[in-house]
């Protein structure tokens, strides 16, 4: 099992590392935005755009071509579809447990690939993540991009829960 770490700076830049080596970066255009860019060494940047009335449909584009998309379903799970290297894959991100707020990435067949554990730093109001990857995750094509897409899903979920809580507090 391999471990990846994601550190957040300025609440909008998330840097993915493995064994203290840079893997990639997720950069949001501004704080509390769903628009972002994914940077991976050796690749042109990927742009992430939310679409729809409720921003529940998100596309990942490279050179104006959709390479992945994900959607938040009614039960709080994300369905990720990738179209990389002419291979179409589908994955599921769902919350693992209610109290600990972990997320899990599963294949379409239910094989666990990645467990994402957020760590909240109260003084800076940022979220860092620890990703525990199964051996099967290391065999996934473009796993680095997929890992950052999963972080985007986790951030999306945290932002939606924060907005829901704020709305409830105002009522």
Domain map of the chain by residue range? 2-170
Tokens matching residue 130 = 């620890």
Tokens matching residue 115 = 């467990």
User: What is the per-residue pLDDT for 76?
Assistant: 83
Is pLDDT above 90 for 56? no
For residues 49-63, give the mean pLDDT: 82
User: What is the per-residue pLDDT for 108?
Assistant: 87
Q: How confident is the model at residue 156 (pLDDT cuts 50, 70, 90)?
A: confident
User: What is the per-residue pLDDT for 26?
Assistant: 97
Is pLDDT above 70 for 67? yes
For residues 155-163, give the mean pLDDT: 73
User: What is the per-residue pLDDT for 63?
Assistant: 92
Is pLDDT above 50 for 171? no
Q: How confident is the model at residue 62 (pLDDT cuts 50, 70, 90)?
A: very high
Rounded Cα distance, 136 and 158, in Å: 27
Tokens matching residue 3 = 């471990």
Which residues on adjacent β-strands are paired with residue 104?
94, 115
**122 alpha carbon, distance to own chain's centre:** 21
Share of the chain above pLDDT 70, in %: 85
For residues 144-158, give the mean pLDDT: 90
3-state DSSP assignment of residue 116? strand
User: What is the per-residue pLDDT for 168?
Assistant: 43
Rounded Cα distance, 39 and 132, in Å: 21
Is the Cβ–Cβ distance between 146 and 91 less than 8 Å? Answer: yes
Query: Which has more pLDDT, 120 or 169?
Result: 120
Query: Which has more pLDDT, 142 or 4?
Result: 4
The 10s digit of each residue's pLDDT in 107-116 is 989 999 999 9
């Amino acid at each position: 099992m391999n471990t990846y770490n994601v550190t957040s700076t300025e609440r909008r830049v998330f840097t993915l590392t493995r064994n203290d080596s840079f893997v990639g970066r997720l950069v949001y255009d501004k704080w509390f935005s769903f628009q972002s860019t994914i940077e991976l060494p050796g690749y042109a940047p990927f742009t992430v755009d939310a679409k729809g009335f409720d921003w529940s449909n998100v596309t990942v584009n490279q050179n104006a071509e959709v390479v992945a998309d994900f959607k938040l379903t009614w039960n709080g799970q994300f369905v990720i579809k990738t179209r990389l290297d002419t291979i179409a894959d589908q994955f599921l991100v769902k919350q693992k447990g209610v109290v600990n707020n972990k997320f899990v990435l599963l294949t379409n067949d239910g094989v666990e690939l990645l467990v994402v554990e957020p760590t909240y730093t109260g003084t800076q109001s940022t979220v860092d993540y620890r990703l525990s990857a199964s051996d099967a995750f290391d065999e996934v094509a473009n796993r680095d991009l997929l890992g950052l897409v999963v972080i985007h899903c986790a951030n999306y979920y945290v932002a939606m829960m924060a907005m829901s809580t704020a709305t409830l507090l105002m009522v």
